[in-house]
Chains A and B, each alone.
Chain A
């Protein structure tokens, strides 16, 4: 069962994403910011895909992507950005940092699951 690491500072968003992903058959790990997410990765978590918000306290999504890309275990892990930011400079920054896909809130569960399926390594 593929594991997804979800990063969002909104507890309601984290819970909502977890429910949708779990009901679609994924294992879910969560973090409330980039720092917590990095700590989980350093602790040995090897997610198949990472789903991250951009605007978070302590370490934002872009800083997290940069850090994750430095680590050998997550250098090539697909990272989806899910944020209220709809584009422009932040999107360019995220792409430059190594984001694989970008979804703007509000999005639909199906849109999210389709993006995940496209990025998951085929077996």
Chain B
């Protein structure tokens, strides 16, 4: 019976690991970053053409020339913002993938090792998988919440015991 429970427990961990790993490819925003770069490149290319056009119309149409130059300046600003956005997105993506990898590694380890959950993967084992202070903060917060809930649960159970079955 015990081995059946353990096999089921391992299977659940293996399936959860596969589910989260599958999720990784969907949350990977590499394609979004790529699109931001393509947009920035295309804007730069168009800006080059507008510059060429501005040169040709500088004498024949000074107003159009002025508008072209304003558009070129605006493009430079937008391209800088797009590059900055892509950079931020790439870094966020990096962090998200690292956290997903951490969860997958933990679940895969639980899926193949024997013993009780606490013995197979301790909180300090989890800590060793972290790659950022942000992950450690989440870990500490979850631990505090868990301990508070466990303490509240124990207090409730003790109260019920004191009151007896009829209370």
Q: Which residues in A have some Cβ–Cβ distance to B below 8 Å?
A: 10-13, 15-17, 19-20, 23, 54-55, 83-88, 105-109
Cα of A108 to Cα of B92 in the assembled complex, Å: 12
Q: Which one of B7-15, B131-139, B144-152 contacts A?
A: B131-139
B86 cross-chain contacts in A, Cβ below 8 A: 16, 19
Interface majority SS on B: helix, strand, loop or mixed? Answer: helix
Instruction: Select which of A23, A86, A107 is within 8 A of B91 by beta carbon.
Output: A107
The answer on a CB contact under 8 Å between A12 and B33 is: yes
Query: 0/1 per residue, B82-104, Cβ < 8 Å to A?
Result: 01101110111111011000000
The answer on a CB contact under 8 Å between A85 and B133 is: yes
The answer on a CB contact under 8 Å between B84 and A109 is: yes
The answer on a CB contact under 8 Å between B132 and A13 is: no
Q: Which 10 A-B pairs have the closest CB atoms?
A: A86-B133, A84-B132, A106-B91, A16-B90, A105-B91, A55-B131, A12-B90, A12-B30, A10-B94, A16-B87
A54 cross-chain contacts in B, Cβ below 8 A: 131
Cα of A15 to Cα of B87 in the assembled complex, Å: 9
B76 to chain A, nearest CB (A): 11
The answer on a CB contact under 8 Å between A109 and B90 is: no
Q: Taking CB as reference atom, which chain A residue is nearest B135? A: A84
Cα of A76 to Cα of B89 in the assembled complex, Å: 33
B98 to chain A, nearest CB (A): 6
Size bracket of the B interface? 20 to 34
Contact A109-B83, Cβ < 8 Å, known A12-B33, A55-B131, A88-B133: yes
Cα of A108 to Cα of B80 in the assembled complex, Å: 11
Q: Taking CB as reference atom, which chain B residue is nearest A87? A: B133
Q: Taking CB as reference atom, which chain A residue is nearest B137? A: A86
A84 cross-chain contacts in B, Cβ below 8 A: 91, 94-95, 98, 131-132, 134
B30 to chain A, nearest CB (A): 5
The answer on a CB contact under 8 Å between B134 and A10 is: no
Q: Taking CB as reference atom, which chain A residue is nearest B92? A: A106
Cα of A88 to Cα of B127 in the assembled complex, Å: 13
B88 cross-chain contacts in A, Cβ below 8 A: 106, 108
The answer on a CB contact under 8 Å between B83 and A105 is: no
A83 cross-chain contacts in B, Cβ below 8 A: 131-132
The answer on a CB contact under 8 Å between A109 and B87 is: yes
Instruction: Select which of B83, B131, B132 is within 8 A of A23 by beta carbon.
Output: B83
Cα of A108 to Cα of B94 in the assembled complex, Å: 15
A85 to chain B, nearest CB (A): 6
Query: 0/1 per residue, B111-139, Cβ < 8 Å to A?
Result: 00000000000000000000111100000
The answer on a CB contact under 8 Å between A20 and B98 is: no
